[in-house]
Amino acid sequence: MNLEHAEWPLVSIFMFVRNGGKSLRRAIDSVMAQTYPNIEFVVQDAISTDGTLDVLRSYGDRIKLVSEPDSGPSDGLWRAMNRCTGEFVGSCLADEELMPDAVERAVRAFQENSITGAITGDALITDIEGKVTGSWTSGPFNLVDYLLADYSPYFVSSFYRRSVLLAVGLRESNWNLNCVEFELWCRVASHSHVKYIPHVLAKYAQHPRQLSNSHNDALVHIEGRLANIVALCAPGGFFDDRPLMRNLFIWGHARVFCRHAILVGKPELARAEYGLVRQTLAEHPPVFLDGVQYDESYEQRLAEARRKSTWHAVRAKMSEMLSMAR
């Protein structure tokens, strides 16, 4: 990296983990092998019982380790982020890997534009053994697409300016610990610019044991997301009393999460997620679009041509509002 030593701002990479398994050392080594020279590796362990602590301790003071009980993965994430002290912050979980130049590229992107609050890039998809099975092209971040669940950046391929994290309330205690990652993106994107780097920055693992495939964890997570969406679209929220947006965002999440549950062979999870969606919507008056109630049957009940023209107008208006609000 063509920088003088004084220009190497500290970068924090964090991991929250409980029983990291056989992939843990590979994840740690990917952080240790970064081409960037000034990194602190912050690890938040939730009292692992499978030998994870022995592996972590074998790296000595190269890892800033805390092992303590937490209330779940989102709580572990929040605790880990709050321990970071670097100018920029990224992550690498126990089943993931950073590409060797990931931190270097992230720092360069931040230094090129001071208004950039976060960056996100592409990823390779692997199995639990680290074998590449596919790839993910992230694309430019858009908060409306994110809230519709049309697009989601991979956390391991993303980095944040810590001053922005502090500005959006990192030290505050009012976070929804059911979905810290989701709330983080909502807060950061409504406060500053998210820059896309068209480069593979990390490897993301997909396997049956990951959190998104756990029945209880998935339900807790989507319940938290729905609560955040309601708050964003309520009077005084970021979108300030937009019930149509609320329903659009909620049904977007319902389609994506239920479809994922079915694809991984968990129809009971899909039914439970659908139940949460119906329960959330039942707490609010129905929403009508061109005289038709907007619900899960919307696409079948509204003429296709009329639906498309109205939908494009609504989406354009949401993007316009987002640009003006920022």
pLDDT tens column, 193-226: 999 999 999 999 986 665 555 788 889 999 999 9
pLDDT for the residue 314? 62
Do residues 106 and 90 make contact, with C-beta atoms less than 8 angstroms apart? yes
Q: Does 224 lie in the same domain as 321?
A: yes
Share of the chain above pLDDT 90, in %: 74
| Residue 230 binned pLDDT confidence (cut-offs 50, 70, 90) | very high
Q: Does 240 lie in the same domain as 197?
A: no
Q: Does 257 lie in the same domain as 117?
A: no
Nearest 5°: the CA angle 6, 9, 15 is 145
What is the tally of structural domains in the chain? 2
pLDDT for the residue 57? 97
Amino acid at 246: R
Q: Does 200 lie in the same domain as 297?
A: no
Q: Does 235 lie in the same domain as 307?
A: yes
Q: Does 147 lie in the same domain as 215?
A: no
Q: Does 118 lie in the same domain as 11?
A: yes
Give the CATH number, domain containing residue 119: 3.90.550.10
CB-count burial class (<10 Å; 0-12, 13-18, 19+) for 178:
buried
Q: Which residue in the block uniquely carries the two structure tokens 């709580």?
A: 75
Question: Rounded to an integer, what distance in angstroms lies between the CA atom of residue 190 and that of residue 167?
Answer: 11
E strand segments, the chain: 11-17, 39-45, 63-67, 88-91, 97-98, 116-126, 132-136, 158-161, 193-205, 288-289, 292-293
Q: Does 218 lie in the same domain as 192?
A: no
pLDDT for the residue 93? 96
The parent domain of residue 229 ranges over: 211-325
> Which of helix, strand or coil describes residue 247?
helix
Q: What is the pLDDT of residues 177-188, one digit of tens each?
A: 899 999 999 999
pLDDT for the residue 296? 61
Question: Rounded to an integer, what distance in angstroms lies between the CA atom of residue 67 and that of residue 28?
Answer: 16
Q: What is the pLDDT of residues 140-183, one digit of tens each?
A: 999 999 999 998 899 999 999 999 999 999 999 899 989 999 99
Q: Does 296 lie in the same domain as 183?
A: no
Question: Rounded to an integer, what distance in angstroms lies between the CA atom of residue 183 and that of residue 64?
Answer: 26
Q: In what helix (H) or strand (E) does residue 56 lie, and over which residues does it extend?
A: helix 52-57
Q: Does 189 lie in the same domain as 217?
A: no
